[in-house]
Every structure is written in C-alpha cells, then in structure tokens.
Amino acid sequence: MEKNKIKYSSGFTIVELLLYVAISSVMLLTISLFLQTLLESKIKNQTVAEVEQQGLQAMQMITQTARNADAINSPARGASASLLSINTYIINNNPTIFDLFGGAIRVKEGVVAAVPLTNSRVIASALDFQNLSRADTPGTIRIQFTLTHINPENKNEYDFSKTFIGSASLRQP
C-alpha cells in the first residue's frame, strides 16, 4: 500500500508563480514611475532655480550700477530703448552700456569689451529700459527683461520662462 502513495515535492504551483510575478511587476512599475516623477521634479526645480538666479543676478548688477551712476545718456527722458547708457563717477567706465546680444544681457564699461551677465543655459529677450526721469531729478530707470531656460529637446521639465521687472533711481550727488 505504501507504494501507491504519490510523493509530492515541495514548490510553487503555476498559479502561485504567476501571482507572485504579477505582484512583483506591479510593484516595480510603481516604484519606477515614482522615481521618474521624482527625477523630473528635481530637474524642473533646478531649471527654475537657474532662471531665477540668472535673472536676479543680472537685475542686481544693472540696478546697482544705475544707482551709482552720474547721468543717464540713453534712453532719453520719457523714452524706452533696448540699450541703457549711463555715465558713472569712474571716468574710465564711461559710458557703461547694458544691452542684449545673442540672447545674453551684456555690460560694456568704457573701452573694455562687453561681458555677458547671463550664462549659456538661459536666453534673454525683450530687454527694455524706460527712462522715467522728471525734470530736476537725478533720474529713474525701469528695467524689464525675460529669461527662458534653453530647452533643445522640448522636454517639460526644462520649460521655464520668467519676466523680471525692476527700477533704479540715481543717487543724489
């Protein structure tokens, strides 16, 4: 009688194996989607930070230089222009010119070559200086420009643009 007994080896049935594989697949898919979303968020945050940093740095340089200027050469009172020309108290830096060239905001002091204020990861556009000065005042300039992060592959996480607006009044001598 003992010879008729069938011995079963321990192991998984095909149904159990398929169930384990399905559960593992769902878990791996969920984890990979979570990690992908996390990576995209990190890249987006870096993109926003890059544009913010470049914009604030350029705006600070322009406003600080304008505040320490002696006179506004261009644009004329009540006018707007894409170029700001000012005279500073340091004669060798005259004129100091801020402009837009090749997607970068630049500064040129005196006869020295122009230096970009923004890096190659952002594109500057719509640079506008408006002279808001009134008669018998030292002068006030309104500055506006837009920075856009470079996005050659058209990915959402690299898509960010911001317009910066500021103003500066020349200090009384």
Whether this prediction's pTM lies above 0.85 is answered by: no
Q: What is the full per-residue pLDDT of the chain (173 aa) written as tens digits?
A: 556 666 666 777 888 889 999 999 999 999 999 999 999 899 899 999 999 999 999 999 999 999 999 899 999 999 999 999 999 988 888 999 999 999 999 999 999 999 999 999 999 999 999 999 888 888 999 999 999 999 888 888 889 999 999 999 998 66
Amino acid at 18: L
As given in the structure block, the two tokens for residue 11 are 């192991």
Q: Cα(43)–Cα(142) distance, rounded to whole angstroms?
A: 32
